[in-house]
Every structure is written in structure tokens, then in C-alpha cells.
């Protein structure tokens, strides 16, 4: 390996260790696994963002006896030093390079599938969909899968509805210790981190339009307000829109929001939520960022078609100049801004998401539960265990119910007294 690569390996190792310091729950599981080896002989194929946090997850799996192969779940999220470290001394075959083109991206997914995994881990469902479409002959050897993110769960649910899902998949995203923390606090912080690193713009006093008020949107809106932005929310679901109103945000439709925003962050999981008719209304200098899984939320072909010229404005920022001279700025090619322009969610929150992944994989490998070929929930006891372990690691004391309170809660006999 060239000297430069050795430096990359060393940098990756240092940063993986840094993340490990903030992943105590995963570390506890990894310690136990090194003794018990619950994954001995199990082949795991993982398609996840190749970050320092993911490195700690795959190292825990390998320490528990699994043979792991990893590829990226987004062409622009790979941290090359992490991939180098995993491929180097850490010994986990990792097929990923930041900025890889679409062909390479899918070639890397096939390389992972070619290791004939028993268990697959996905983030966005590209691995599982490719397994069904291009490597269907391997399906019989796959016991089950896990899915990390909202978009992936929606895609897999569509496969299930259509009757084409041929492996059981556990929706890790649906665990409460995943989406209530990772999606809200993780995306909330890391999406703004991506915008700040890419642009170095002041958020205070600016108008931030958050498109989508699911768990991620709630987090982005709350953190945007914390930084001093006037936050406008766009939402299609009446209940979520009402919640945003009661949370104190200005809620309106995309046509009005388009005129107001200095910065737009899409977090809907849907396609073309910012379209040509909205781009035509935007202010000169507006920033466009996406924190949803795929790069389809901003209509990039429409932006390209509207532009008279385009050029890089700075790293991860592309300037599009429209016919009337207005300039719009697209961050991170419209891909996940937190991973394309920053480092993704902080380790403290990935600790819980990946503890869910780890304990779910252990359950799938050890118990080999008979599961239907459907999208399935994380067992409730795993979710509760992750919460308890996280609280313990934070040194937080939990109150206990007294026997009397337990009896009270399970009885209907006591009502109004006095
Ligand atoms: N998704 C969001 N942030 C992430 C991170 N830091 N590592 C892996 N997947 C992520």
C-alpha cells in the first residue's frame, strides 16, 4: 500500500476510535460478543453509510464472529479514510469510495451480495432490492434482513404489498430508540451541520423552510429555531401540519414558502417536493439542501434546465444562474446534506441506532426465529434494552414502580375517591 494510503488508514483508525468513545452501548454489546461469539460462522452483508460509526458496528459484528462485507448506501457519504482503515488493518472488506458513479455504486452492492450473506443490513433498501432483481438465486440462502431508514422501510413495505418481498426484514427505523432520537436529534443537528460546513452562512435572522414535519423535519425545525432562524414548515399531512403550528412554526404551502426562504431543507422522503414552479419564485442566493434519503426531493433536472450557467461556488456548493440573473445554490448535489457535506449523525445517537441493529442481528442469528416474509418490528424487549443501556451509560437513574403502583395500574376497581 502506498505511503499516502497508510496515512489515510491511520487517520481512519484514529477517527473510528474517536467515535467509539461516544458509543458506550455498542461497546458493551461488543465486549460481551467477544466472549460469547454469537455470530460465529454467520455471513453478514451490509449496505450502510461508510462512516466512523458504521465502522464500529461492523467491527463489533466481526468481533462477535461474523464475516462481514460492507458497501456504501449513498455514493457521496463514504468517508474514504474509514473505508481505507476497514480494508486495511481492521480487516473488513469494504467496497466504497466517496463520489463513486452509479455503475460503481451498484457494482459494489453486487460485490457484497457475492459473499452470499446469511443476513443483510440495508439503509435505503438498495441492497435488498438488488438482491431481488439481480441476485434472486441467492435469496434462499438469506435468513433475514434489517432496514435502517424511513425511505427503505417504505420501499420494502411496497415490495411486501406487491407480494414480491422474499425475505423477512426487520424495520430497525421503527424502533422507538431509533427514530425518536436518530431521526430527530441526529438529523436535526447533522443536517444543519452540513449546511454550515458547506456554506459558513449565518442562520440567525434568516428564513429556514423545512419541507416535511416527520421525525427528521421536527428535529431540523427545532435546531433551526435554536440557531435563530425564522422557521417555516411545509407539510401535506394535516396532523403533522397542526403539530408544527402548535410547536410555534409558520406553516404554509410550498408556493408561499418558496418566496420566503433563504435556506430550504427537504426531509419528506418523497420526490420533487421543490419543483420548477417553486424554483422560479425563489430569492437570489437561496440555498437548497436535502436531508431525505434520495436526491429526488429537489427537482434537479428542472434546476439544471432553468439555469443559464452553473459553476462550483465552493466545495459541495454548486451555483445555478437563472435567466434573470438570480443565483440558486445546491448543496451536496442534492444528496443527504448531513453525510455529503458533514459527517452524518454524531456517534452518541448512532450508538442507539446501531445497538438496535446489533441486538436484532444477534436475535436473528442465534434464535433463527421463524419469520414471515414481511416488514417486521424490532422486538419490544430489544428497544427497551437499548433505552436502559443508554440511560446506564449516561449515569441516569430510573425511578421504579412500587408493587402498590403496579397493582393500581393493572386494576380497574379504584376510581374517583374522596
Ligand atoms: N446515517 C446518518 N448518520 C450516520 C452516521 N454517522 N453513520 C451511519 N449512518 C448514518
Q: What is the CATH number of the domain that holds 277?
A: 3.40.50.720
DSSP H or E segment with residue 324:
none
Together in a domain, 84 and 210: no
Show the DSSP H helices in 209-292 as ranges. Answer: 215-226, 238-246, 254-260, 276-279
Residue finishing a domain among 340, 374, 407: 340
Residue 351 in contact with ligand 1 by CB distance below 6 A: no
Residue 407 located in a structural domain: no
Together in a domain, 205 and 306: yes
**pLDDT value at residue 327:** 98
**Domain span holding position 96:** 3-178+346-393
Residue 416 located in a structural domain: no
Closest CA to 291 of 146, 200, 192: 192
- State which ligand 1 atom lies nearest to the alpha carbon of 149: 1
The residues that bridge with 67 in the sheet, in sequence order, are 43
Domains identified in the chain, total number:
2
Per-residue pLDDT of the chain (418 residues; tens, 9 = 90+): 444 599 999 999 999 999 999 999 999 999 999 999 999 999 999 999 999 999 999 999 999 999 999 999 999 999 999 999 999 999 999 999 999 999 999 999 999 999 999 999 999 999 999 999 999 999 999 999 999 999 999 999 999 999 999 999 999 999 999 999 999 999 999 999 999 999 999 999 999 999 999 999 999 999 999 999 999 999 999 999 999 999 999 999 999 999 999 999 999 999 999 999 999 999 999 999 999 999 999 999 999 999 999 999 999 999 999 999 999 999 999 999 999 999 999 999 999 999 999 999 999 999 999 999 999 999 999 999 999 999 999 999 999 999 999 999 999 988 888 8
Together in a domain, 17 and 164: yes
Together in a domain, 172 and 225: no
- Distance between CA 269 and CA 265 in Å, rounded? 12
Residue 401 located in a structural domain: no
Residue 53 in contact with ligand 1 by CB distance below 6 A: yes
Together in a domain, 28 and 165: yes
Other residues' Cβ atoms within 10 Å of the Cβ of residue 380: 10
- Burial tier of 372 (Cβ tally within 10 Å: 0-12, 13-18, 19+): exposed
Residue 139 located in a structural domain: yes
Residue 92 located in a structural domain: yes
Together in a domain, 217 and 161: no
- Distance between CA 100 and CA 104 in Å, rounded? 6
Together in a domain, 156 and 16: yes
**pLDDT value at residue 4:** 56
Residue 399 located in a structural domain: no
User: What's the grid cell of residue 336?
Assistant: 443527504
Q: Are the C-beta atoms of residues 144 and 168 closer than 8 Å to each other?
A: yes
Q: Are the C-beta atoms of residues 289 and 340 closer than 8 Å to each other?
A: no
- How far, in Å, is the centroid of ligand 1 from the Cα of 335? 14
Closest CA to 31 of 20, 46, 44, 42: 20
CATH number at 97 reads 3.40.50.1480
Together in a domain, 243 and 165: no
Closest CA to 312 of 295, 332, 326: 332
Together in a domain, 264 and 125: no
Out of 48, 60, 71, 339, mutate this one to test ligand 1's pocket (max ligand atoms within 8 Å of CB): namely 339
- How far, in Å, is the centroid of ligand 1 from the Cα of 53? 7
Residue 320's φ and ψ, nearest 5 degrees, are -115, 120
Strands 144-147 and 119-122, sheet pairing? parallel
**pLDDT value at residue 146:** 98
**pLDDT value at residue 1:** 40
Residue 307 located in a structural domain: yes
Together in a domain, 194 and 245: yes
Out of 291, 345, 352, mutate this one to test ligand 1's pocket (max ligand atoms within 8 Å of CB): namely 345
- State which ligand 1 atom lies nearest to the alpha carbon of 73: 9
Q: Are the C-beta atoms of residues 288 and 274 closer than 8 Å to each other?
A: yes
Together in a domain, 112 and 243: no
**Given strand 317-322, what is the order of strands in its sheet?**
250-251, 230-234, 207-211, 263-266, 287-290, 327-331, 317-322, 307-314
Together in a domain, 143 and 231: no
* Shortest-distance Cα residue to atom 9 of ligand 1: 49
Residue 418 located in a structural domain: no
Amino acid at each position: 500500500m502506498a505511503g499516502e494510503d497508510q496515512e489515510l488508514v491511520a487517520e481512519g483508525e484514529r477517527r473510528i476510535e474517536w467515535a467509539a468513545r461516544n458509543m458506550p452501548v455498542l461497546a458493551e454489546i461488543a465486549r460481551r460478543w467477544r466472549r460469547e461469539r454469537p455470530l460465529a460462522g454467520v455471513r453478514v452483508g451490509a449496505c450502510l453509510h461508510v462512516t466512523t460509526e458504521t465502522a464500529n458496528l461492523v467491527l463489533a459484528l466481526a468481533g462477535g464472529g461474523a464475516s462481514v462485507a460492507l458497501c456504501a448506501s449513498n455514493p457521496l457519504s463514504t468517508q474514504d479514510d474509514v473505508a481505507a482503515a476497514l480494508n486495511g488493518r481492521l480487516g473488513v472488506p469494504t467496497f466504497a469510495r466517496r463520489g463513486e458513479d452509479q455503475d460503481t455504486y451498484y457494482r459494489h452492492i453486487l460485490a457484497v451480495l457475492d459473499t452470499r450473506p446469511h443476513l443483510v443490513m440495508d439503509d435505503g433498501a438498495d441492497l435488498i432490492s438488488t438482491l431481488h432483481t439481480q441476485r434472486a438465486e441467492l435469496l434462499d440462502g438469506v435468513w433475514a434482513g434489517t432496514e435502517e431508514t424511513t425511505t427503505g422501510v417504505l420501499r420494502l413495505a411496497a415490495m411486501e404489498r406487491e407480494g414480491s418481498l422474499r425475505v423477512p426484514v426487520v424495520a430497525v427505523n421503527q424502533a422507538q430508540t431509533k427514530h425518536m432520537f436518530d431521526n430527530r436529534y441526529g438529523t436535526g443537528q447533522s443536517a444543519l451541520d452540513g449546511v454550515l460546513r458547506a456554506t459558513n452562512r449565518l442562520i440567525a435572522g434568516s428564513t429556514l423552510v423545512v419541507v416535511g414535519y416527520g421525525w427528521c423535519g421536527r428535529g431540523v425545525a427545532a435546531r433551526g429555531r435554536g440557531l435563530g432562524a425564522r422557521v417555516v414548515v411545509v407539510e401535506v399531512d394535516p396532523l403533522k401540519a397542526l403539530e408544527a403550528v402548535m410547536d410555534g412554526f409558520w406553516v404554509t404551502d410550498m408556493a408561499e414558502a418558496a418566496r420566503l426562504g433563504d435556506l430550504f431543507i427537504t426531509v419528506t422522503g418523497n420526490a420533487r417536493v421543490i419543483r420548477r414552479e417553486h424554483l422560479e419564485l425563489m430569492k437570489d442566493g437561496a440555498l437548497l439542501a436535502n436531508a431525505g434519503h434520495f436526491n429526488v426531493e429537489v427537482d434537479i433536472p428542472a434546476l439544471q434546465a432553468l439555469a443559464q450557467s452553473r459553476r462550483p461556488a465552493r466545495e459541495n456548493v454548486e451555483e445555478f444562474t437563472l435567466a434573470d440573473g438570480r443565483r440558486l445554490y445546491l448543496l451536496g448535489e442534492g444528496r443527504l446534506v448531513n453525510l455529503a457535506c458533514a459527517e452524518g449523525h454524531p456517534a452518541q445517537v448512532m450508538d442507539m441506532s446501531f445497538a438496535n441493529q446489533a441486538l436484532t442481528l444477534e436475535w436473528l442469528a442465534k434464535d433463527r426465529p421463524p419469520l414471515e416474509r414481511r416488514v417486521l418490528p424490532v422486538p419490544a424487549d430489544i428497544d427497551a434494552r437499548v433505552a436502559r443501556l443508554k440511560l446506564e451509560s449516561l449515569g441516569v437513574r430510573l425511578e421504579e414502580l412500587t408493587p402498590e403502583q403496579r397493582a393500581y395500574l393493572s386494576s380497574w376497581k379504584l376510581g374517583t375517591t374522596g
